[in-house]
Amino acid sequence: MKFFARTGLIGLSIVLTLVCSTAAMAADWVNVVSSKTGYELIKKSGSGSEKYAQFGEVMIILAGTALNDEIIKGDPLTSLPLRPGETLYLVTTKDPAVFNMTFPGTRTVYREMGFIVLIAGETAGMNLLSKQSDFTKVELLPANKVILTAPVSTGSTRIKTEDATARFIELLDMKAFLQDLTDLVNFKTRYSYVAPAQKSIEHCEKIFADMGYTTRLQPFKIGSTETHNVIAEIKGTDEKKFGQVLVVGHLDSTSQSPRNDAPGADDNGSGSAGVIALARLLKESGLKPAATVKFVLFMGEEQGLYGSKAYVKELSAEERPTIKAVLNLDMIAFDAVAPLSVMIETSAFNRPMVERMQKLALNYADFTIQTSFNAWGSDHAPFLQQKIPAVLTIESEFATNPHYHKTTDLVENTNQDLCLQILRLNAATLYDFAINPENSN
């Protein structure tokens, strides 16, 4: 339902004219208020005609005259008139360059954490829609939806230390993680088209093989260049019942001079070393997973999610529903402003999995967490498009990382504390879905 479309507005105006026949007819207003205030206002109004979208602690409300008088009195953060012919657009991007762009002919309502809400007329709207890519989604602002949940600080709860999940997580080897990350950066570049990238692929396959995993390289093409995904597998003791769990991240990197200098420490050495760390953790624990677990490193992400698309394409119709959870780690190492913060992202259909992860975050990690239901722009997207449950974990501050896609994306600019906390959440999820799925609720 896209209530913000022009036709919806005409309908809304008619309703409001009838209801508030004594009030002076005015244009609709776009307001940004605190989410708490927003929900109270909507409840109080009771007309059901206002449209809203929640982004964490703030809410965008499109309101006609009556409610708007209330909002204006309450001193909104932003209040802009919606003129005839104008519509609200939502841009969801994982590309900081797009995030920081100015869009001619539009007015900005909101811009945070990779989300931009804009008012645009028809021409500017067409221009916006043309910005859509594998990393940027452009749509009419969906109505009456939580796009991004309010932040929850998990550190305020007591982290469990005594149960089986906690004992499993404690085995995470962050020294080995840092060494793997450093080794990946030392390839100088993992840009999909160049020889060092192929070396890094072979390097990672060897790491998995040395741990005892069954490995294979999955070939695919980016244009005329052949490259490979790295796949490491351990069979579950009851795959029939518990299916498979995938832990994935993209190994490739890019920069302003990608052929010879694209260190990609945060993007996505951190996620790749994280996938390796979880594989090591599983082996070190000595536990036999009930579900089959696959650790997958994708190439060609930066050119347009080529690796994950190739992976999903190769899945048979029978295999797809056996995948119970995909954990995508992409950029887990940047955090400039305290407290440590993370966004987990999925699609609305996958609410059960994300709710399990939210619960695990409260019990086993220490950060501020927000959930986005507007998935786009990384390797979880091709899975979600096929209705395969997938969740991305990503640093909340990715859109403001000054080293993104730069030759300065180096290990020294990573935050190892954030890596640890995000890996703790993913380790707990791996335990919950693959090792002890029977007892999960």
Short-list 203, 198, 202, 201, CA closest to 179: 203
Q: What DSSP designation does 188 have?
A: S
SS3 content of the chain, % helix, strand, coil (to 5): 40, 25, 35
Residues 171-230 that bind Zn ion (CB under 5 A): none
How far is it, in rounded angstroms, from Cα 107 to Cα 118? 6
Interface with Zn ion (CB under 5 A), residue from 106, 165, 229, 268:
268
Distance of CA 219 to the CA centre of its chain: 26
First CA to last CA distance, the chain: 32
Binding segment toward Zn ion, per CB under 5 A, in 31-39, 155-163, 230-238, 327-335: 327-335
Q: What DSSP designation does 142 have?
A: P
Short-list 283, 260, 152, CA closest to 213: 283
Residue 234, SS3 per DSSP? strand
- Amino acid 371 reads T
- 368: Cβ contacts below 8 Å, ≥ 6 apart: 151, 152, 153, 154, 155, 339, 340, 341, 342, 396
Q: What DSSP designation does 350 have?
A: G
Distance of closest approach, residue 145 Cβ to Zn ion, in angstroms: 26
Interface with Zn ion (CB under 5 A), residue from 50, 267, 345, 379:
267
By rule CB under 5 A, what string of x and - marks binding of each residue 329-368 to Zn ion? -x--------------------------------------
Distance of closest approach, residue 330 Cβ to Zn ion, in angstroms: 4
C-alpha separations of 95 from 16, 114, 308 in Å: 39, 8, 18
Distance of closest approach, residue 278 Cβ to Zn ion, in angstroms: 17
Whichever of 96 and 105 has its CB closer to Zn ion, that residue is: 96
The residue to which tokens 């260190």 are assigned: 263
How far is it, in rounded angstroms, from Cα 370 to Cα 344? 6
Distance of closest approach, residue 247 Cβ to Zn ion, in angstroms: 16
Whichever of 67 and 384 has its CB closer to Zn ion, that residue is: 384
Residue pair 109/88 in contact by the 8 Å Cβ criterion: yes
Short-list 177, 178, 179, 202, CA closest to 190: 202
Distance of closest approach, residue 394 Cβ to Zn ion, in angstroms: 9
- Amino acid 365 reads A
Whichever of 76 and 382 has its CB closer to Zn ion, that residue is: 382
Whichever of 267 and 432 has its CB closer to Zn ion, that residue is: 267
Distance of closest approach, residue 45 Cβ to Zn ion, in angstroms: 42
Distance of closest approach, residue 267 Cβ to Zn ion, in angstroms: 4
Whichever of 330 and 345 has its CB closer to Zn ion, that residue is: 330
Distance of closest approach, residue 386 Cβ to Zn ion, in angstroms: 21
Binding segment toward Zn ion, per CB under 5 A, in 46-54, 61-69, 263-271, 424-432: 263-271
Whichever of 41 and 297 has its CB closer to Zn ion, that residue is: 297
Distance of closest approach, residue 8 Cβ to Zn ion, in angstroms: 36
Distance of closest approach, residue 405 Cβ to Zn ion, in angstroms: 9
How far is it, in rounded angstroms, from Cα 92 to Cα 114? 6
DSSP sequence for 88-135:
EEEEEES-HHHHT---TTEEEEEEETTEEEEEE-HHHHHHHHTT--SS
Whichever of 289 and 307 has its CB closer to Zn ion, that residue is: 307
Whichever of 180 and 330 has its CB closer to Zn ion, that residue is: 330
By rule CB under 5 A, what string of x and - marks binding of each residue 286-325 to Zn ion? ----------------------------------------
Task: By CB under 5 A, tell whether 395 contacts Zn ion.
Answer: no
Whichever of 60 and 265 has its CB closer to Zn ion, that residue is: 265
Distance of closest approach, residue 195 Cβ to Zn ion, in angstroms: 21
Size of the site for Zn ion (CB under 5 A): 3
Whichever of 268 and 372 has its CB closer to Zn ion, that residue is: 268
The residue to which tokens 């890519």 are assigned: 133
Short-list 385, 251, 243, CA closest to 325: 243
Say how many C-beta atoms besides its own lie within 10 A of residue 39's C-beta: 15
Whichever of 86 and 267 has its CB closer to Zn ion, that residue is: 267
User: Which residues contact Zn ion by CB under 5 A?
Assistant: 267-268, 330
